[in-house]
Structure 1
């Protein structure tokens, strides 16, 4: 069943303000999102210097000799476990 007296031009005029309000709201949300994204990127933590490890529990940083760690890992991989033939 259809509406008895439909005037599309009048309905367009009556719905214009609510539709503009919806578009304005979506635009505001988009601007707020872009502002938040920019703020997060600007205030992000810089990567730590290579070879520095920070203990999450104490917050202390210590230097790590990566060459020694790589050499130790290679030695562990190249040795046979005890009791192996």
Structure 2
């Protein structure tokens, strides 16, 4: 059953403060989400890996720019 007397203009006036509070809370949460994602992107290191990497699109082995097999340190320390 619905309410017999509904006046949306009066209800909108009566609920203005809670509705504005909810809008502010959602806006603040979105701002925090954007800042957090931006922080994670800026704080991340570049990709690390071997001197040869596989291109995910073609499957071909590619040499990493600026490194040769002699320049890359051996992780085992041999």
Q: Give the structure-2-normalised TM-score.
A: 0.54
Residues 46-69 of structure 1 deviation map (CA, whole Å, 9 limit, x = unaligned): 2236528xxxxxxxx527xxxxxx
Could you tell me which runs of 5 or more consecutive residues in structure 1 were left unpaired when the two chains were aligned. Answer: 53-60, 64-85
Distance 1:9 1:48, change over 3 A: closer
CA RMSD of aligned residues (A): 2.6
User: 5 Å matches for 1:55-66?
Assistant: 62=74
Distance 1:8 1:35, change over 3 A: same
Give the match for residue 24 of structure 2. 24
Displacement after TM superposition at 1:5 (Å): 4.3
Give the match for residue 67 of structure 2. none
Q: Which has the higher contact order (CA 8 A, sep 6+)?
A: 2
Could you tell me which runs of 5 or more consecutive residues in structure 2 were left unpaired when the two chains were aligned. Answer: 53-72
Higher alpha-carbon Rg: 1
User: 5 Å matches for 1:32-47?
Assistant: 32-47=32-47
Give the match for residue 10 of structure 2. 10
